[in-house]
Amino acid sequence: MISVLDLSLDEISSVLQMATLLENEDPLLRMKRLLKRRVALLFYESSTRTRTSFELAAKSLGADTALISSQSSSIEKGESLKDTGITLKALGAECIILRHLSSGAPYLLEAATGLPILNGGDGTHEHPSQALLDLRTLLAHFKKGPSNSGQSALTETTLDGVTVAIVGDILHSRVARSNALLLPRLGAQVVLCGPPALLPEVAANLGPGITIERDFDKALAASQAVMMLRIQAERLSGLHLDLEDYKGRYQANQPRMAAFAPNALLLHPGPIIRGLEITSEVADGPQSLIAEQVRHGVAIRMALLARALGASAPESITNAASAK
Ligand code: CP
């Protein structure tokens, strides 16, 4: 899976269902699902959440993992992505999780190896597993209710009536792109919010369910969830931003949240830069789902690995499918 568009709505639903079933499965039975299968994690950019949760997910399913990072591997000596992929395949890798600084790199790796590639973030293109874990986080909150237990909510796939503001460095954010491509398909409205330097004017149609609002306070007031983004200093390439001005207009801080979105859920894919796009008070406050997002990442990544490697489905998925 390289893009969220690789999954149909039915497949998204079955990934969510699989995530819940695997999460609740007896750990010893779960270990048999990918026992001794070989998963390579190939990381050209730093990562804490994606790398660790994919590794924990693979190990929870019994797979053997190998981590190759651009520092301390032969990539440092100039070995290409193609040759690195061919080498990993020769070593028995059956699936590669790739994080790369270039948009589209997973397509090259897929073509070179013929292996299933799970995109762990490619340049400014996409970060599909992040969008799926964000979706699971949102569903867990918006579908809870008296007639709707939290457990079943995680397998329902509609965000009808929910508006999600995505705020900050949209231009460089693969998380923003994947979420903007995914959430409207589930019925959500997406409001993109940021200054022109980080959210350029676009002449083309943004796509169904997506609008732009420059005024953060207005975007907050219209939204039930707000997803803050880090300014990606590593991708700004000479672009100068007045950070004090930025904080004044776009920082998620307590007075602003209290005034415009006291009940909104607060998400952030991480890493967060405290005091810039978000204050500690908000990041650690009652509206914040940041740690919850990270937790959902392991379940979603188990489901994606199981799907990529054709793991047998837990009983209740098999039963549900045969009942259709
Ligand atoms: N959200 C995210 O991709 O975090 P990492 O860079 O730590 O993996």
User: 189-212 pLDDT, tens per residue?
Assistant: 999 999 999 998 875 567 889 999
Residue type, 4: V
Judge if the beta carbon of residue 48 lies within 6 A of ligand 1: yes
Per the annotation, does 287 bind a ligand? no
Identify the residue with better confidence: 232 or 15: 15
User: How far is 82 from 291, CA to CA, in rounded Å?
Assistant: 35
Choosing from 41, 42, 46, 50 the residue with most ligand 1 atoms within 8 A of its CB, the one to mutate for a pocket test is 50
Nearest residue (CA) to ligand 1, atom 1: 269
Judge if the beta carbon of residue 130 lies within 6 A of ligand 1: yes
Choosing from 49, 54, 129 the residue with most ligand 1 atoms within 8 A of its CB, the one to mutate for a pocket test is 49
Block residue for tokens 């100039």: 78
Nearest residue (CA) to ligand 1, atom 4: 49
Query: What pLDDT, on a 0 to 100 scale, did the predictor assign at position 318?
Result: 53
User: How far is 31 from 147, CA to CA, in rounded Å?
Assistant: 33
CA 277 to chain centre: 19
Judge if the beta carbon of residue 128 lies within 6 A of ligand 1: no
Helices 315-323, 9-24: axis angle to 10 degrees equals 140
Centroid of ligand 1 to alpha carbon of 233 (angstroms): 15
Block residue for tokens 């790796």: 109
pLDDT band at 233 (very low <50, low <70, confident <90, very high): confident
pLDDT band at 64 (very low <50, low <70, confident <90, very high): very high
Atom in ligand 1 nearest the alpha carbon of residue 48? 7
Residue 111: phi and psi, rounded to 5, are: -65, -35
The two structure tokens encoding residue 231: 């300014």
The two structure tokens encoding residue 288: 């914040």
Identify the residue with better confidence: 165 or 151: 165
Choosing from 47, 172, 175 the residue with most ligand 1 atoms within 8 A of its CB, the one to mutate for a pocket test is 47
Choosing from 43, 130, 230 the residue with most ligand 1 atoms within 8 A of its CB, the one to mutate for a pocket test is 130
Q: Which domains does the chain have, with CATH numbers?
A: 4-126+297-313 (3.40.50.1370), 128-293 (3.40.50.1370)
Assess whether pLDDT exceeds 70 at residue 116.
Answer: yes
The mean-pLDDT minimum among 69-73, 155-159, 198-202 falls in 155-159
Contact 90, 115 (CB under 8 A): no
pLDDT band at 149 (very low <50, low <70, confident <90, very high): very low
Judge if the beta carbon of residue 223 lies within 6 A of ligand 1: no
Assess whether pLDDT exceeds 70 at residue 154.
Answer: no
Per the annotation, does 270 bind a ligand? yes
Centroid of ligand 1 to alpha carbon of 287 (angstroms): 21
Contact 141, 265 (CB under 8 A): yes
Judge if the beta carbon of residue 163 lies within 6 A of ligand 1: no
Helices 290-308, 128-142: axis angle to 10 degrees equals 120
What does the angle CA 232 – CA 233 – CA 235 come to, to the nearest 5 degrees? 70
Q: With a cut of 0.95, is the ipTM above it?
A: yes
Judge if the beta carbon of residue 230 lies within 6 A of ligand 1: no
% residues pLDDT > 70 (the chain): 92
What's the pTM value of the predicted model, to 2 decimals? Answer: 0.93
Judge if the beta carbon of residue 234 lies within 6 A of ligand 1: no
Judge if the beta carbon of residue 269 lies within 6 A of ligand 1: yes
